Amino acid sequence: MKKNDIWLVIPGYNESQYLDRVLQQVKKQTQNIIYVDDGSSDRSVKIAQKQLQHVLAHQVNLGKGAALKTGCEYAFKELNAQAVILMDSDDQHQAAELTLFFKEFAKGRQLIFGERAIDHRMPLIRVMGNRLVSVVILLLFGNYIPDIPCGFQAFSKQVYQQLAWEASGYEVELEIAAKTAKLKIPFVTVGIETIYHDLDRGMTLLDTIKIVAYLINLRFKI
């Protein structure tokens, strides 16, 4: 797969603090960028419009899953993309690591997950939460997928049609992982680095309970 056939989809909600820097860094790697604003009340849309040709905007906040679907549908149907890479807009992914995904697509890979290193830079609560989610996916769907909440991932048009998520919020990554495991879609992982901002506290106990309940419900739906 050629690099020009791959489009980057970046969802955002009130990310004006980081968005300009993120887009500047991403543009050093590719010009195929779609920003999807999910009903922001700050300057996010104006910031994106100054730098990008393809800026989509929800009038109201619909959730990350809805924003990703808007971006993917636009990429595949309007821009004839053959694959997309999903990347967050909050400056917690390194734009330079997009090359890792491009290289995997060049090898013929169809589904690629970013996997953050488990070291002292990852808050303990995130380590525990990430591992728990992966174990629950394994128990319910029969396949182990590391670092499911990462958000830095990529897939071909064919795989997107298989994933076809319904989740509108942040649970989208859980549904993608669950369907990957359930349908036994082949995937590879690439090691990435992630920046943790001071206000990023990770999952709470209540979040974890909600996630497990959501996955159990998914088990009987897909």
Q: Alpha carbon of 168 to those of 13, 15, 81, 165, 171: distances in Å?
A: 14, 19, 22, 8, 7
- Tell me the pLDDT tens digit for each residue of 19-45: 999 999 999 999 999 999 999 999 999
The pTM for the full model equals 0.92
Interval 53-97: pLDDT, tens? 999 999 999 999 999 999 999 999 999 999 999 999 999 899 999
* Residue 146 · residue 134 · CB < 8 Å: yes
pLDDT at 1: 86
- What is the three-state SS of 181-208? HHCCCCCEEEEECCCCCCCCCCCCHHHH
The CATH homologous superfamily to which domain 3-219 belongs is Spore Coat Polysaccharide Biosynthesis Protein SpsA; Chain A (3.90.550.10)
Question: Tell me, what's the pLDDT at 205?
Answer: 58
* Tens-digit pLDDT profile for residues 107-148: 999 999 999 876 656 666 677 778 889 999 999 999 999 999
Break the chain into its structural domains and give their ranges.
3-219
Closest CA relative to residue 153, chosen from 93, 107, 196:
93
Give me the pLDDT at residue 120, please: 59
- Which percentage of the chain shows pLDDT scores above 70? 91
